[in-house]
Structure 1
Amino acid sequence: MFKLSAISISLITVFFSPVSVFANDEGMEVIEVYAQKRKQTLEEVSISIATLNGDNITRQGIKDVSEVSGYVANFKISQNAAEGTPPALNIRGVGLIDYNTANTSPIAMYIDGRPVGSANNQIANLFDVEQIEVLKGPQGTLFGRNSTGGALLVRTKRPEDGNYGFIKAGVGTDEWRRVQGAYNARVNEQSALRFSFNHTDYEYTSYNVFEPSPEAGLKQQDARLSYLAEWDAFSLYAKLEYGHWDGIVQPVGSIGIFKDPVNGVRCTPAEAGGPGCYDAFGFNDGSSDYWAVSVNNDSPHLSIYKGWTVQGDWQISDSQQLTYINGFNRLDRRHAFNCDGSPARLCEGELGLKNEILSNELRYSSALDSDHLTLGLFHIEERIYQDNFNDILRDMRGLLDTSLTNTFFYDNEIIVKSVAAFAQYEWQLNDAHRITVGLRYSDETVEYDSISRLNTVLDINQLEGVTIPYYQVMGEVKDDGLSGRVAWNYQHSKSLMLYYSLANGTKSGGYNGGLLATGEQARMADYDPEELYAHEIGAKYNNADNLSLNGAVFFYDYSKQQVFMNQASTTPGAPPLQLLENVGSSTIYGAELAMQYKLSESVKFRGAAGYIPEADFDEFIDPVGNVLTDNRLPFTPKWNINSDITYSLPLGRAELVSTIGFEYQSEYYFDQNQNAYAMQSGYTLWRGSVHYEQGDWRIGVWGKNLFDKEYSHLKFDLSAFLGMLEDFKGEGRRLGVDVSYRF
């Protein structure tokens, strides 16, 4: 539909500014954040924060939160094991790569003040959004549980005075179709309604050459209705949301590792997946096209979510406010998968899920002259019901030992209950010095009931097998503890603020409800809390004219770290052991710098760089005897750099805004084994857009991964089982055109 040469000529002089926009010709925009659960300027807060506003999300065609990490230093989000499974969020080396639907990320995520809970809910489509904030480092005081590495805050656009709206339609390569819109309606002098929607329909940039399989793609439909009323001393915000996603999952590729499967002769890591490399059963997809795969991928996906958020604010006096937030969300999902990456039936299954989460927060805040006090109570209850199965070596029934050709059914019920009380006091010593002290007490219980059945061959003449009870394990994990923060702000001048912060965060213990191959493994599947202490020294500079700089150096002491492990079974030819273990401790340190610079009235620059030279396990040997000491943490590149330039050209009553930018990641590993086969080499993704605006109309052209760089979201190691690695390929080149109209 589009030619790269044509678009790249238009983009060669461009860039775009994703962290903030420049509100006028007189200076830098003042960015307001909610990192401390109240509106403050970015330069006031002693936390490393990156922001991305709604207009830049729209201009660049950013689809969902997984694409945000391309604009923030030391922040990485991957779709992990295909879109629709829990994503992998990682801030400064702290993250969880497990695709299991029972687990929770150490990066907390909040949408309009409501916690989303487990990692199942951490992929959100971005439409009609006001701002995204990425808070780096432990947020144990105000955001509490499961914010060991930081927090991601999404704030959607709220109703406001006036009757207006917009509609946007777009098309692109690989059958990309999108329609979005919103309408804001004034109800009366005190209140307004806002309705917004998103419909996105697309095929994946990787494609399947196995003709019996249907074309893979997804249709995503989202809707949101919100209400805001403001009276003299009270305001009420209420939001309803609904989503329906269905389609065929992205087909997985196969990275074969054997030159000679019969004699066990291996390809080198550089050769693996190439034309002369096969899996243990002799399969190679036979294509030199990186984006082509050959797999029986009749694998449907269906997600339905619905929920509400209600927030009431009572202005008790000029200096005191009481806030109550109630939220509920339910997610029903069925996600089929093929894990052998071939036309054979060697590893197939489905992740079934019902996830319900109810949360309440009551918060009191008071401004005491120049000081500020925050007190709060928090409650959350989450119920996870899993209905999963994995069919192992179906095509080998009757050929291999019957103990190796089974279907595992694993149904888990996991109930999480947590309560907390927190307090933070910000003390203004004088004009230059400010001290922040915070403390939180949390108490949590995780109850689990794990039931498994096994379909196995008892009679070689009946290969369909019989289904028998396998195991049932019940129990609970309890933990409580304190987390908190001490920070010092030094206002050196009007433009420059320096700070030091000592913060700690915890991620609670729980139960790993993934593929548990034996009853013994199921009984050992609970895990303990983890804890992280973070030292950070930072500086924030904004001359309110043309330059903004934000930098930090940090040192993390990470203890009892929860790490997902994909380890070869001690039984040859059996599925791998998938464990979630506390590995003891890790050490992480690094630095980051973000800059925005207004070169002229027409040209603006933004750049950010992160450097993490150390992110390693301390001394540790895993449960099956593998030494992981000094191994680097997964999904943690040493270097990551992103940058953009935007160029605005006035054309009478119209304006042409053109942009170009890139994201660079140095090499990193996909698992804890530091396996050369499961490694992503360094890569750079280029992006750009050109928008023409006149009056109420905007026409835009955008492109992602302009040079069609080949990279993977995840390489999942099944080499000891199937002689291959699953290759979840990244997003190839995608180009699109949008037309929007404001009314």
Structure 2
Amino acid sequence: MPLTQQKKKLVNHSAAALLALSSGAAGMAHAQQSSGAPASDGETASDVQKVVVTARRREETLQDVPVSVTAFSADQLSKQAVPDITALAVALPNTTLKASRATNSTLTAFIRGVGQADPLAGFEAGVGIYIDDIYLARPQAAVADIYDVERIEVLRGPQGTLYGRNTIGGAVKYVTRKLAPKTDVRLRGTIGNYRQTDGVVTASTPLSDTVRIGGTVARFKRDGFGKNLFTGADNYDKDSTALRLSAEFTPTPDLFIRIAADGTQDDSNPKNGHRLIVGRTSGAPILSNVYDTRANLTQAAGHDQEVTAHGVSAVVEYRLDDRFTLKSITASRKDKSWAPIDFDSLPVTDMHVPALYTNEQVSQEFNLTYTGERLQGVAGVYYIDAQAFNKFDTILAGAVPTSTFTSGDIGTKAWAVYADGSYSVTDALSLSLGGRYTVDERTASIYRQIFLGANGTPEMGNPGAIPFRIDTDLRSGLEREDKKFTPRVAVNYKLGADHNLYASYSEGFKGGGFDPRINIVGGRLPLAQARAGYKPETIETSELGLKSAFNGGRITTNAALFYSDYQDVQIPGSVAIDTNGDGRDDSFAGVTTNAGKAKIKGVELEAVANLTRDFMLAGMYSYIDAEYKEYIVAGVNVAGQRVFQNTPKNSANLRANYDIALPLMGRNGKVSLIASVSYKGATNQFETVSILDQESYKLYDASIVWTRSDGKIRAGIHGKNLGNERYKTAGYLFPTLGNEGTVTAFYGNPRTVSATVEYRF
């Protein structure tokens, strides 16, 4: 069969599959309606609230935008007591969002198999995190508690022609709430098991017809899920404070200015892992409680664990006329993390890594949006100047105890021009074209030195350490520049007023860089290879989707099929090495591989059914098949022995909301009964199969929430992980290092129960 006929046949089959998926979901919902309550309960199509998103930098309904995007409203987040963005992952197709190993606030994010799990300087995220269109260059402090938001949008697939910074896997967008035209005061308090006590106070007021100011103060505190049996401190505790201030100016009806500042501080205890193996030398047993630890490292260079982050931004939006709007987004951010990481989680000093991370960035974006009768689009320029620095000791026991100091200072300067437009050829058919040209410039300074003894190095607080050997000294001359044009093309066709079929092709790009843990002497890494760094990675994604509405919009389904050709995949990692040739591993070094080729394909289905005015049922199912085709190690293709990390093949979620009219406290209102069950398939933590991998599991959540009829008071009881499931989220795998060996795992939250009260003046 000719190639064109094969492609045409594939498209026809894919469209038919999407229609079957959508019809199946809708049919299930219709069947539930017809079997019980009346079909409408007096509700009309106009009563169904449409979800509005800004996925394409302009307001569109979720069902009209030809992009794979899921949105969570502020009301939805409130009713379900969602604490932070990691909790959203259970309801998102092909998405992993979690706190990185040994941290509460560093984010690991993967969408459709694309992401980045290493938080060190030198490695950029594969999934972009945006706060009001401001890109966060680093994952530290990115697991932010949710407050003061209007909605959260999650976009899947390469994002480059619509956003300031190119992100190869997808984007998570926080959209904060604009200040109200009248004085607005909101209080939220939460108490829960593990002595959880949270409080959020938000207030805003107009100073005049053109000036409004507001701010939020939030405090989140909780005891640990376990104990440090050596120090007596809590393990997996929480102690964080957040602040946000903003001022908005509208000197004319066409000009809007927002100045905002925010800051967070996390003073939680060090988060230590659960050993999965018996101590190799001491025979230390495996603890029965996965949240307990016996770690003895409590400080990094004399500092308790602490994460601070703050930023300022200015957004200026000027409507030139009814068609053109010009926008400027200026931002500056900084963060610092003192991180005492006890890899071995034992009372002895076997494998310790006290570390310091600091990051800063300045970014500027200008964009121009156009909204015409048939043509809509956006064009812009973007620039970011970011500096990521880390230094840490690797303290190892052994025949000859050593302390290895490593520092990496990685600079990024990137600029880009982008444009994306959509033209309505007819009332039913529209075509979208976009393109982006990106230049990424990287500079690096990397240094690694070994000292004798297990007491640390001078740079991390031990001035008496005895120098042994310099393994890497590349404090100058590390530079690289990567350039790439990435296009996007999409066509969508309205099969009717309620069915939007779209097909798209997009390319993504992430520049190359330098691994700050490279070891030239002990690791025997060629100097030329170290100076070259690792290459950019690219992805080409084709997608076919169908967004449908039934019964006047009361039932919606979104289905998508996608296929990605992923090349030169950046895979950073640390491996144990033998630096002196005695046959025993005595250190570790960074090894970043550009896996040559990978193929990713999958299906995603989301459905929401307002079965009656009071009963809503929603569901999600996703499947992904991600496979390496070329993965060269020492000249050998080991693709058949490698797997995709943080990418479970199957994920599903089913949630229900039933509202009951019920007066309380002398006022009318409604009680919402909310329940959900989530399924995650087996998940690999690294590119090789290991004991750290997590088998499939289910999570059960439930809430009972009363909301007063005027919306000013809400009270709820919320249960998370009611089955008390123990599931691994991350870990360290160095079984041959030290005297005891390190195989430690980190786990998701156990069963938690909380009560929340919200009051709005």
Taking structure 1 as the reference length, the TM-score comes to: 0.88
Aligned residue among 705, 716, 721 for 1:705: 721
Three-state SS of the structure 2 residue aligned to 1:158 is: coil
Aligned residue among 640, 647, 671 for 1:656: 671
Match of residue 20 from structure 1: none
Deviation at 1:548, TM superposition (A): 0.7
Q: Within 5 Å, which residues of 2 pair with 1:310-459?
A: 310-393=314-397, 396=398, 400=399, 402=400, 405-457=401-453
Q: Within 5 Å, which residues of 2 pair with 1:222-301?
A: 222-230=242-250, 231-256=252-277, 278-299=278-299, 300-301=304-305
Match of residue 527 from structure 1: 534
Aligned residue among 534, 545, 550 for 1:538: 545
Deviation at 1:521, TM superposition (A): 4.5
Q: Within 5 Å, which residues of 2 pair with 1:27-66?
A: 27-66=47-86
Three-state SS of the structure 1 residue aligned to 2:491 is: strand
Using the TM superposition, name which of 479-488 and 565-574 deviates more: 565-574
Deviation at 1:630, TM superposition (A): 5.7
Q: Deviations over 1:528-572 (max 9, x none)?
A: 100000000001112344201001000000011111234343553
Return the letter of the residue paired with 1:279: G
Return the letter of the residue paired with 1:448: A
Three-state SS of the structure 1 residue aligned to 2:225 is: coil
Three-state SS of the structure 1 residue aligned to 2:213 is: strand
Task: Give the gaps of 5 or more residues in structure 1.
Answer: 1-22, 257-277
Using the TM superposition, name which of 550-559 and 290-299 deviates more: 290-299
Q: Is 2:594 the counterpart of 1:586?
A: no
Return the letter of the residue paired with 2:558: N
- Distance in structure 2 (CA, Å) of the matches to 1:249 and 1:624: 40
Q: Within 5 Å, which residues of 2 pair with 1:418-567?
A: 418-457=414-453, 465-467=465-467, 470=470, 471-473=472-474, 474=476, 475-514=478-517, 516=519, 518=522, 520-521=524-525, 523=527, 524=529, 526-543=533-550, 544-567=552-575
Match of residue 627 from structure 1: 638
Q: Is 2:577 the counterpart of 1:574?
A: no
Is contact 1:616–1:630 with CA below 8 Å preserved after alignment?
Answer: no
Is contact 2:402–2:454 with CA below 8 Å preserved after alignment?
Answer: no
Is contact 2:116–2:125 with CA below 8 Å preserved after alignment?
Answer: yes
Go from structure 1 to structure 2 and tell me whether the alpha carbon gap of 1:545 and 1:377 turns closer, same or farther (over 3 Å shift).
Answer: closer
Return the letter of the residue paired with 1:527: Y
Return the letter of the residue paired with 1:579: V
Deviation at 1:723, TM superposition (A): 3.6
Return the letter of the residue paired with 1:80: S
Go from structure 1 to structure 2 and tell me whether the alpha carbon gap of 1:233 and 1:562 turns closer, same or farther (over 3 Å shift).
Answer: same
Aligned residue among 123, 147, 154 for 1:127: 147
Is contact 1:184–1:194 with CA below 8 Å preserved after alignment?
Answer: yes
Aligned residue among 688, 693, 705 for 2:702: 688
Deviation at 1:288, TM superposition (A): 2.7
Return the letter of the residue paired with 2:676: G
Match of residue 36 from structure 2: none
Three-state SS of the structure 1 residue aligned to 2:79 is: helix
Deviation at 1:78, TM superposition (A): 1.9
- Distance in structure 2 (CA, Å) of the matches to 1:584 and 1:243: 40
Q: Within 5 Å, which residues of 2 pair with 1:192-211?
A: 192-211=212-231
Deviation at 1:508, TM superposition (A): 1.0
Three-state SS of the structure 2 residue aligned to 1:510 is: coil
Three-state SS of the structure 2 residue aligned to 1:567 is: strand
- Distance in structure 1 (CA, Å) of the matches to 2:548 and 2:420: 25
- Distance in structure 2 (CA, Å) of the matches to 1:585 and 1:297: 41
Go from structure 1 to structure 2 and tell me whether the alpha carbon gap of 1:114 and 1:99 turns closer, same or farther (over 3 Å shift).
Answer: closer
- Distance in structure 1 (CA, Å) of the matches to 2:249 and 2:676: 40
- Distance in structure 2 (CA, Å) of the matches to 1:357 and 1:469: 34
Go from structure 1 to structure 2 and tell me whether the alpha carbon gap of 1:368 and 1:212 turns closer, same or farther (over 3 Å shift).
Answer: closer
Three-state SS of the structure 2 residue aligned to 1:98 is: coil
Aligned residue among 636, 643, 650 for 2:654: 643
Three-state SS of the structure 1 residue aligned to 2:56 is: coil
Using the TM superposition, name which of 85-94 and 640-649 deviates more: 85-94
- Distance in structure 1 (CA, Å) of the matches to 2:493 and 2:648: 32
Match of residue 94 from structure 2: 74
Alignment size in residue pairs: 688
Go from structure 1 to structure 2 and tell me whether the alpha carbon gap of 1:212 and 1:374 turns closer, same or farther (over 3 Å shift).
Answer: closer
Deviation at 1:71, TM superposition (A): 1.7
Deviation at 1:654, TM superposition (A): 2.2
Go from structure 1 to structure 2 and tell me whether the alpha carbon gap of 1:120 and 1:346 turns closer, same or farther (over 3 Å shift).
Answer: same
Match of residue 619 from structure 2: 607
Three-state SS of the structure 2 residue aligned to 1:238 is: strand
Deviation at 1:593, TM superposition (A): 0.2
Q: Is 2:732 the counterpart of 1:716?
A: yes
Deviation at 1:458, TM superposition (A): 12
Is contact 1:576–1:720 with CA below 8 Å preserved after alignment?
Answer: no
Is contact 1:100–1:514 with CA below 8 Å preserved after alignment?
Answer: no
Q: Deviations over 1:272-291 (max 9, x none)?
A: xxxxxx13224434533333
Deviation at 1:601, TM superposition (A): 1.6
Is contact 1:357–1:383 with CA below 8 Å preserved after alignment?
Answer: yes
Match of residue 726 from structure 1: 744
- Distance in structure 1 (CA, Å) of the matches to 2:294 and 2:603: 42
Go from structure 1 to structure 2 and tell me whether the alpha carbon gap of 1:594 and 1:215 turns closer, same or farther (over 3 Å shift).
Answer: closer
Q: Is 2:178 the counterpart of 1:166?
A: no
Is contact 1:635–1:668 with CA below 8 Å preserved after alignment?
Answer: yes
Match of residue 628 from structure 2: 617
Match of residue 759 from structure 2: 741
Go from structure 1 to structure 2 and tell me whether the alpha carbon gap of 1:625 and 1:463 turns closer, same or farther (over 3 Å shift).
Answer: farther
Aligned residue among 150, 154, 161 for 2:174: 154
- Distance in structure 2 (CA, Å) of the matches to 1:522 and 1:227: 54
Is contact 1:95–1:149 with CA below 8 Å preserved after alignment?
Answer: yes
Three-state SS of the structure 1 residue aligned to 2:103 is: coil
- Distance in structure 2 (CA, Å) of the matches to 1:31 and 1:302: 39
Using the TM superposition, name which of 287-296 and 413-422 deviates more: 287-296
Return the letter of the residue paired with 1:437: L
Task: Give the gaps of 5 or more residues in structure 2.
Answer: 1-42, 456-461
Is contact 1:206–1:251 with CA below 8 Å preserved after alignment?
Answer: no
Q: Of the two structures, which has the highest relative contact order with CA contacts closer than 8 Å and spacing of 6 or more?
A: 1
Deviation at 1:54, TM superposition (A): 1.5
- Distance in structure 1 (CA, Å) of the matches to 2:107 and 2:592: 16
Return the letter of the residue paired with 2:655: D
- Distance in structure 1 (CA, Å) of the matches to 2:235 and 2:501: 54
Aligned-residue Cα RMSD (Å) equals 2.4
Deviation at 1:505, TM superposition (A): 0.4
Is contact 2:121–2:410 with CA below 8 Å preserved after alignment?
Answer: no
Using the TM superposition, name which of 74-83 and 581-590 deviates more: 74-83
Go from structure 1 to structure 2 and tell me whether the alpha carbon gap of 1:145 and 1:25 turns closer, same or farther (over 3 Å shift).
Answer: closer
Three-state SS of the structure 2 residue aligned to 1:55 is: helix
- Distance in structure 1 (CA, Å) of the matches to 2:454 and 2:158: 52
Is contact 2:122–2:516 with CA below 8 Å preserved after alignment?
Answer: yes
